[in-house]
Amino acid sequence: MAFFDEPFDLIAPPEGRVEGVAKVTGKGKYAAEYEVAGICYAVLVDSSIASGTIKNINLQHAKQVAGLIDIVTHQHKPLVPGLADEGKIKESRFGLPVFHTDKIYFKGQPIAMVIAETLEDATYAASLVTADYDSTPFKVDFDKEHPLNPLSNAGKERGSLDAWGSLPHIVEASYNIKAEVHNPMEMHATIAHWVSSDQLKLFDKNQGVNNVQRSFARLFNIPEKNIEVFSEFVGGGFGSGLRVWPSALAAVMAAKQVSRPVKLMLTRPQMFHSVGYRPASWQKVKMGADNEGNIAGVWHQAKTELLFMKALERASPGLPALFTNFPT
């Protein structure tokens, strides 16, 4: 351990990461580490089923916890103008309109949010919230289901398979790629503070503050310039910080509901189902080349998981499905 006892220069070398020293010495603040006067704490309650409808949410025991301030559900929530009705929800294109539906789309979906004076009170009260559901069948085994779903035409095609089907060198292979979650060191967290009725201040774990501004400006019908977003340090993202997730919206709703700053941080288990993932996919590629090594054509097919409305369909990889006669 002598290395850690040796003096070192706090100034990073030119080739080092600009935030590296601040992070490893604890000087860099992550979203959940800022101090805000009058702050209270929110904890999400997750659904225990994968598909169905909420019949009833039982709150009576949670309401007896000392320090409880409020509990947000789909039946008791502040107004979010951009999610005010079904038409606006579709227009918003916000992935999960949290607390604006009684439908359950996945296990772990937030069904309630407990707000309390301390994190301990909020966590304990959240553990006392239960729900009654009408469960419906669900399909989550991609390897089992995708062969039952035929491919459909999508995307562009340039050329024809018949034009190079008789080439001397044809390679064809299928690939099964498993789902992969992004679970970085820093859990997603948001501190939301409504400075006034149309001014919002956020400390949020994200990789695009402008996108956060735009999203909440649309949802709450306030000018972008009235939304201040701090995300000075990010403890890893793997792409999970590129979108505005339901937990951030929940924190903003909580702050609106209780008229106080609110901190909401996902737990490590919640990170596995609350901030997206790279879905499983099946992909098939066929390539043809002549004896000189010139690739005459590429044919690509794919299926991937889709959350919510459609279980499986052809995925576009961002390229035309069929190429022919292109230079190498």
Which pLDDT tens digit goes with each residue over 281-299? 999 999 999 999 888 888 8
Query: 32-136+185-274 and 149-180+278-324: same fold?
Result: yes
Q: Comparing C-alpha atoms, which of 200, 71, 68, 197 is closest to residue 130?
A: 71
| CATH 3.30.365.10, domain 149-180+278-324, yes or no | yes
pLDDT in tens, 162-214: 888 789 999 999 999 999 988 899 999 999 999 999 999 999 999 999 999 99
Average pLDDT, the chain: 89
Burial annotation 270-303 (CB, 10 A radius, 16+ → b, else e): bbebbbbbebbbbbeebbbbeeeeebbbbbbbbb
Among 58-62, 111-115, 149-153, 259-263, the range scoring the smallest mean pLDDT is 149-153
CA distances from 297 to 98, 179, 292, 303, 323 (A): 45, 29, 14, 21, 5
CA distance 100 to 227: 23
- Kindly list the domain boundaries of the chain, sorted by start residue: 32-136+185-274, 149-180+278-324
| 56 membership: H or E segment, kind and range | strand 52-58
32-136+185-274: CATH topology is Aldehyde Oxidoreductase; domain 4 (3.30.365)
Compute the distance between CA of residue 65 and CA of residue 274 in angstroms, rounded to an integer.
26
Q: How far apart are CA 245 and CA 292, in angstroms?
A: 50
Query: Higher confidence at residue 258 or residue 9?
Result: 258
Secondary structure string (H, E, C) spanning 91-157 = HHCCCCCCCCCCEECCCCCEEEEEEECCHHHHHHHHHCCEEEEEECCCCCCHHHHHHHCCCCCCCCE
Q: pTM (2 decimals)?
A: 0.86
* Pick from 319, 320, 321, 287: nearest CA to 301: 321
CA 102, CA 113: separation in Å to the nearest integer? 14
**In the structure, what pLDDT confidence band is assigned to residue 156 with cuts at 50, 70 and 90?**
confident
